[in-house]
Structure 1
Amino acid sequence: MLQRIQTIYLLLAAAVSAGLCLFLPYGIDKNDLELFAKEDFFLLGMFMGSAILSLIAIFLFKNRQLQFVLGRINILLNFILLGVFVYWSLTVSGETKVSEKGIGMIIPIISIVLLVLANKAIRKDENLVKSVDRLR
């Protein structure tokens, strides 16, 4: 059923991953130019992969177990993306790519929180269905 709360959480996670990454800079380079994810193929692929996984999970409402697993995979993907951002921000001393941090580095954190809330709601629905089956 598409009118569940996890659908809203998954839709928000997809919007955050796909929408905000295009408009919020994740850093500033040594020439004071803002760095966006749309300019880096790897970051854009990771953000769009996260958004696509969220959208696929929305339409798997009949298979809650698979929906839950896709949510976990999406959380893992966002942790990897967050790790990449942390690595780039910690190598600031060499001025390799990112000179200053931008607001776009918190996008994976927002997405992780929304995905955890969605997985919690999916688990709650699964437990409700199991408890109703026990009464029959």
Structure 2
Amino acid sequence: MIQRIQSIWLLLAAINILCLLFVPTIGASTDSGYYILNGSGLKLEGAKEQATNIPLLVSVILAGLISLINVFNFRNRKLQIRIASLNIFLILALSFWLTQMVKSLGELKVLDIEPGIFLPLVAIIFTLLAIRGIKQDEKLIRSADRLR
């Protein structure tokens, strides 16, 4: 299962999404201070106690775990494709949610794009590559069945 290329792609997608928890995606400066957005919510820079956005944190972890668990679903390739497609939709929804959190801050003075903004896009690309690998496996197995 690990020697299949789609397993590597799904593992890389899971790592990318879980990196959202640590890598900042957007930095925004408002009248009340400088906010940093990552996978666990908005954090006010310099504040000692930070509240985490539990639904956002659960969604990020869920998107990463879906990719990770989908690696072990290698016996049912059609279900694996459906789960990977669902995960792409979840990552897109997660990206939309992150942008809406920044918009909810109100009047922005400065908006800094951080390296984490590209992680969902890279995870989607890895998941699409995994779907392509799964389809190639399905095609190979169908051609082997025809030879029997």
The TM-score, its normalising length taken from structure 1, stands at 0.85
Structure with larger Rg: 2
Residue 122 of structure 1: aligned partner: 134
Equivalences for 1:69-88 in 2 at 5 Å? Answer: 69-88=82-101
Larger % of helix: which?
1
User: Structure 1: where are the runs of 5+ without partners?
Assistant: none
Change (3 A) 1:93 1:62: closer
Q: SS at the partner of 2:34? A: coil
Give the stretch that moved more between structures: 71-80 or 38-47: 38-47
Equivalences for 1:52-131 in 2 at 5 Å? Answer: 52-89=65-102, 91=103, 94-95=106-107, 100=111, 101-131=113-143
The one-letter code sitting in structure 2 at the alignment partner of 1:126 is E
Larger % of strand: which?
2
Question: What is the Cα-based RMSD across aligned positions, in Å?
Answer: 2.2
- Native 8 Å contact 2:21 2:60 kept in 1: no
Displacement after TM superposition at 1:93 (Å): 8.2
Displacement after TM superposition at 1:60 (Å): 0.8
The TM-score, its normalising length taken from structure 2, stands at 0.79
User: Structure 2: where are the runs of 5+ without partners?
Assistant: 41-51
Count of residue correspondences: 133
Per-residue CA distance 1:80-122 (angstroms, 9 max, x = gap) = 1122234345x378238xx624332222111100000000000
Displacement after TM superposition at 1:58 (Å): 0.4
Q: Once the two structures are aligned, what percentage of the paired residues are identical?
A: 35
Partner Cα distance (1:21, 1:111) in 2:
11
